[in-house]
Every structure is written in structure tokens, then in C-alpha cells.
């Protein structure tokens, strides 16, 4: 089993990264863990969208 982690500043970018990974090779996807973190920097909200994909190569 292997793990890859994706981290993006926008949820659509995360979707694109994860979908590109899944479609790029012949993997058995075991699980996907998703997380969102928010912080305040001055008056700006900063979002971090991340996903961890657990997979096996076929």
C-alpha cells in the first residue's frame, strides 16, 4: 500500500489534482481522506484543502 498527499488553496484545484492522479495510472484506490483548514492572516481568510489517497499499484 502507498500514500500520496495533495494540498491546494482551492477545492477545485484539489479535485483536479486528485482526479489527474487517479486517471494517470492503473491504481486500486483503497481510501481517500479529505480535510479543510482555515486560518486568518491579517484580514484575509486562508484556506487549505488537502486529501490523502491510499492506493495500491496493479
This prediction's pTM:
0.85
Q: What is the per-residue pLDDT for 20?
A: 96
Q: How far apart are the first and last CA of the chain?
A: 11
CA distance 30 to 27: 9
| Residues 2-47: tens digit of each pLDDT | 999 999 999 999 999 999 999 998 899 999 999 999 999 899 999 9
The torsion defined by the Cα of 9, 11, 13 and 19, in degrees rounded to 10, comes to: 140
> Could you tell me the residue range of the domain that residue 9 belongs to?
2-57
Residues 21, 23, 24, 26, CA torsion sign: positive
* Cα gap 19→39, rounded to integer Å: 26
Per the structure, the count of domains in the chain is: 1
Amino acid at each position: 500500500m502507498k500514500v500520496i498527499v495533495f494540498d491546494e488553496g482551492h477545492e477545485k484545484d484539489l479535485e483536479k489534482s486528485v482526479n489527474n492522479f487517479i486517471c494517470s495510472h492503473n491504481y486500486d484506490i483503497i481510501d481517500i481522506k479529505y480535510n479543510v483548514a482555515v486560518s486568518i492572516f491579517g484580514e484575509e481568510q486562508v484556506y487549505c484543502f488537502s486529501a490523502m489517497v491510499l492506493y495500491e499499484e496493479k
